[in-house]
Structure 1
Amino acid sequence: MDLHVNQLAEYYGQAPVIFGDVFKQTLQPGILGVERRTAEGYGGLVFPIEGRARFTFNGCPYEIEPGTIAHGGPDMELCKEALSERSCSFVVVHYWLPAEEVARYPLHHEHFCVRMDNYGRTLELAQQLLQEYNTPGRMAALRTKLTFFNLIYEMVISINRQFRDENSKMMAQAADYIREHYAEPLTVEKLALQFGYDRRRFTYLFERETGMSPMNYLTRVRIGRSREMLKNYSCSVAQVAEWVGYSDSFYFSRIFKKHTGISPTEFRKQG
């Protein structure tokens, strides 16, 4: 399942998730582990400790290793297989939702796999949860509940950080692309398609990273380049306009004056 971090944050932020149990499991290489179904009524989160494995939920495979987590919904077909030469171990955390709330949160019934930043802290909490769950006493039971919610919080924050870093890199590439292709007939739709986003999300991410919309950024690049040309070359204003991506020289002149306070001709005279 393709999953956006906002869906994950909304799910775990609003759904009344209740801790079920936690255990550690190890897969030996070369041995295919088959289970008929995941736990009925429980969602499960898999936190790899070491090694690499393939988890297949309802026929959909996910390869996991430290730095990734997998989620399986209730009552799913599950097949597990170690892919590394050494054994693969992981912590499994089960949780559930009250029966009257299940229908409101479809993500509970989905399988997915996500990569996260700062996985060491997340794994530390998963192992702490395992230790506290196996410690007798009321205080340990209380600490178990608190650690479970700390684990969920850290997981969502880490995934969000990872997505933000990846989006930041992509927007930097988009800005570079605009600076290199400013003379072409660029639109937000074309740019969004080029980098694999829908129009609205591309615009939001680009503004978050640069402080301006993609089209405003393009305009600033074009005006900056046209100032250089007007200052250093004797070509006509119409030629400059065409070279920086404007087919209409009158429109170019209006945009130039809007951004600089003077017309292209006046700017050239000042230079």
Structure 2
Amino acid sequence: MEIRTPEVLLQYFSNYYMRIESITKEVRKPKVKSIGWMNSEYSGFIFPIQGQAIFHFNESSYDLKPGVIVHAGPHMRNDREVVGDEDWVYILVLYKTLKIKDDAEGDLSKKHFQISSIEYMRIFENLNKLVHYWQSPVPYYSLRIQEIWFNTLNLMVSFMEKSGQSKNKQMLEQILDDIHENYETPLSVSVLAERHQINVNQIAYLFQKHLSMPPGEYLNHYRLNQAKKLLT
């Protein structure tokens, strides 16, 4: 599955503390298949930085390449294949969760899901630092690791928010174009929702947030304005 709303991740990061167990940079040769591989006892984030691989977790497929982050729970079977002609390189962060609040909800540690990042380079810079500090024996670096890791989690949420805003504006523009081109037809909010594969509540949210009016009201106003133009 893909997590599409930053609120889901934010709730998880806020309610559960992540104790880092391992940070490694891994390299897999191209065109190599691994069938029946079992995850370790820890949860983990996979950050691809070069090449491409296809993973299957519980019959769900993920296309792992730079710009895509995948999370997997412990003891999960995964089948993987490195595709293309270059090495598949990724950074793996394994962790264990500790509940911060007694009534904490939204534990994602045992699930597999995908996050798409629109500004992966800044996360990549953090990951390189994490690998470097993890390999160092200096005790001071344990604090730096936590600091950089929390910053990485914040970046993931922030980038999701930006991506969501961009997609929302694009969707609104498509709906508005549809209204402007087809206002003379029996157009309604439910018809727009079905045509653009979005539910009515989401359309209402987009119009209220960006235009400060319900979609039905916008449609009626546009029809009225076009009718006035014909009379002048």
TM-score under structure 1 length normalisation: 0.78
**2 CA distance for matches of 1:229 and 1:220?**
14
**1 CA distance for matches of 2:28 and 2:40?**
18
Specify the alignment match of 2:95 in structure 1.
95
- SS of the residue aligned with 2:109? helix
Instruction: Kindly provide the amino acid, as one letter, of the partner of residue 222 in structure 1.
Output: R
Q: Is the aligned partner of 1:59 residue 2:59?
A: yes
Instruction: Kindly provide the amino acid, as one letter, of the partner of residue 179 in structure 2.
Output: I
Equivalent pair of 1:16/1:97 in contact (CA under 8 Å) = yes
Equivalent pair of 2:17/2:99 in contact (CA under 8 Å) = no
- SS of the residue aligned with 1:36? strand
Instruction: Kindly provide the amino acid, as one letter, of the partner of residue 84 in structure 2.
Output: S
| Equivalent residues in 2 for 1:191-202, closer than 5 Å | 191-202=192-203
Instruction: Kindly provide the amino acid, as one letter, of the partner of residue 16 in structure 1.
Output: Y
Q: Which runs of 4+ in 1 moved over 6 A?
A: 99-103
Equivalent pair of 1:102/1:108 in contact (CA under 8 Å) = no
Specify the alignment match of 2:81 in structure 1.
81
Specify the alignment match of 2:224 in structure 1.
223
**2 CA distance for matches of 1:122 and 1:44?**
16
Equivalent pair of 1:125/1:147 in contact (CA under 8 Å) = yes
**1 CA distance for matches of 2:18 and 2:201?**
31
Q: CA deviation at 1:216?
A: 1.9
1:200-233 deviations in whole A, cap 9, x for unaligned? 12211232233322112212211210111111xx
Structure with more of its chain in helix, by fraction: 1
**2 CA distance for matches of 1:113 and 1:149?**
19
1:7-47 deviations in whole A, cap 9, x for unaligned? 2232223333332221111110121134632121x221111
Q: Is the aligned partner of 1:117 residue 2:118?
A: yes
Equivalent pair of 2:15/2:105 in contact (CA under 8 Å) = no
Specify the alignment match of 1:137 in structure 2.
138
Q: Which has the higher contact order (CA 8 A, sep 6+)?
A: 2
**1 CA distance for matches of 2:14 and 2:188?**
36
Structure 1 pair 102–110 and aligned structure 2 pair: CA distance change class (3 A): farther
1:59-90 deviations in whole A, cap 9, x for unaligned? 32211111111111121002222112111100
Unaligned runs of 5+ in 1: 232-271
1:167-188 deviations in whole A, cap 9, x for unaligned? 2111110111111111223222
**2 CA distance for matches of 1:193 and 1:108?**
35
Equivalent pair of 2:62/2:114 in contact (CA under 8 Å) = yes
- SS of the residue aligned with 2:38? coil
**2 CA distance for matches of 1:94 and 1:227?**
64
TM-score under structure 2 length normalisation: 0.91
Structure 1 pair 14–193 and aligned structure 2 pair: CA distance change class (3 A): farther
Structure 1 pair 3–147 and aligned structure 2 pair: CA distance change class (3 A): same
**1 CA distance for matches of 2:56 and 2:131?**
24
Q: CA deviation at 1:99?
A: 6.8
Structure 1 pair 35–149 and aligned structure 2 pair: CA distance change class (3 A): farther
Q: How many residue pairs were aligned?
A: 230
**1 CA distance for matches of 2:190 and 2:96?**
42
Instruction: Kindly provide the amino acid, as one letter, of the partner of residue 45 in structure 2.
Output: L
Instruction: Kindly provide the amino acid, as one letter, of the partner of residue 152 in structure 1.
Output: L
1:86-118 deviations in whole A, cap 9, x for unaligned? 111000111221279798434222211232111
Q: Which has the larger radius of gyration?
A: 1
Identity of aligned residues (%): 27
Q: Is the aligned partner of 1:206 residue 2:207?
A: yes
Specify the alignment match of 1:146 in structure 2.
147
Instruction: Kindly provide the amino acid, as one letter, of the partner of residue 26 in structure 2.
Output: Q
Specify the alignment match of 2:4 in structure 1.
4
Root-mean-square deviation over aligned CA pairs: 2.1
Instruction: Kindly provide the amino acid, as one letter, of the partner of residue 15 in structure 1.
Output: Y
Equivalent pair of 2:16/2:99 in contact (CA under 8 Å) = no
**1 CA distance for matches of 2:67 and 2:103?**
29
Structure 1 pair 212–171 and aligned structure 2 pair: CA distance change class (3 A): same
Specify the alignment match of 1:240 in structure 2.
none
Unaligned runs of 5+ in 2: none
Q: CA deviation at 1:130?
A: 1.2
